[in-house]
Amino acid sequence: MPQGRIVWLASFPKSGNTWTRTVIDSYPVPADREFDINRRGRFAKGDTSRKLFDAAAGGKFQAGTVEEWLAVRPAMLRLLVSSDPGLHFVKTHSQIRTLHGQPLIPPELTEGAVYIMRNPFDVAPSFARHMTTDLDTAITRMVNDKYHLIDENGIRSPLGRWDEHIRTWTTAPGLTRRVMRYEDMIAEPEDTFRSLIEFLSLKVDFGRLRRTLRRTSFKALQKQEAAKGFRERPKKMDRFFASGQTGAWRRDLNPEQVARIREAFLPTLEQWYPELLEETAEVAQQA
């Protein structure tokens, strides 16, 4: 692979990005060494790094507008890829799109992508908890094509709609990609992560993989977070690694919310989550 380019680890928030990065970062760690969730290496970089934005800006970065953020983002990405001659694995929650004439995922810096998706019925309650807001507000943000996550320094992740996020990453022309569904990661972790390891051109060792999946189970990650904390946890969130379940929407969403999500995203659900169509239709009819 060419040097100095990015493999994007992309997802809509609360879709399994952190777990994916934890698994593949733990995979090379020998059996006699402890894996620390706060000391991840190659897979800890992100395109919202305050340290990188400060370095690119030549001082404390602060943006009040999207234009001010965009003025520094290209320099930040160039700085990131120039820091090492090899590949860079970079987390992003941004869509692939052009904003004010500027591509957010520059093709000239991109080697490929791992895209992780999760069904929107489960994303909604997890996203609400992450944003410390109510479910209806979280759903409103998921259907807003102009929605951006913005931190206190003005660093942004242009999310847009949940379905558009998936479309931009899964149909981008010329992009070498591996698409993963969170539901498959839970149901068939060994097969799903084996395929990911092969995509990343790493040697598959099934004993190592099984050990990795044990040490990065949600129970193990919850135990580490309780003992040591987790640096990526938002300040207002009690804990980052909550349950890791699938199907929590059946408990958390009311029929009106199910109907709203289903109506907004039906074509994408038909493509990627046909197994949910009949059940969600029955629930939505109760609204």
Domain contains 20: yes
pTM, whole model, 2 decimals? 0.89
Q: Domain for residue 129, yes or no?
A: no
DSSP label of 79: H
Cα(148)–Cα(139) distance, integer angstroms: 14
CATH number at residue 43: 3.40.50.300
Task: Say what the pLDDT of residue 242 is.
Answer: 58
Q: How far apart are CA 11 and CA 236, in angstroms?
A: 22
pLDDT at residue 144, rounded to an integer: 98
For residue 2, the model assigns a pLDDT of: 40
Helix (H) or strand (E) segment spanning residue 201: none
Q: Is residue 30 part of a domain?
A: yes
Does residue 283 sit within a domain?
Answer: no
Is residue 12 very low, low, confident or very high in pLDDT (cuts 50, 70, 90)?
A: very high
Q: What is the pLDDT of residue 3?
A: 46
Alpha helices in 90-248, H assignment, sequence order: 120-130, 135-142, 162-171, 182-187, 189-199, 206-215, 218-228
Q: What is the pLDDT of residue 282?
A: 97
| Mean per-residue pLDDT, 28-44 | 66
Residue 132 in any domain: the answer is: no
Residue 71 has pLDDT above 90, yes or no: yes
pLDDT at 40: 55
Determine the structural domain holding residue 180 and report its residue range.
6-119+147-233
Inside any domain, residue 91: yes
Residue 252 is assigned to a structural domain of this protein: no
Question: Cα dihedral sign for 272, 27, 232, 79?
Answer: negative
Tally of domains in the chain = 1
- For the stretch 208-263, pLDDT in tens is 999 888 888 767 666 766 655 555 555 555 555 555 678 999 999 999 999 999 99
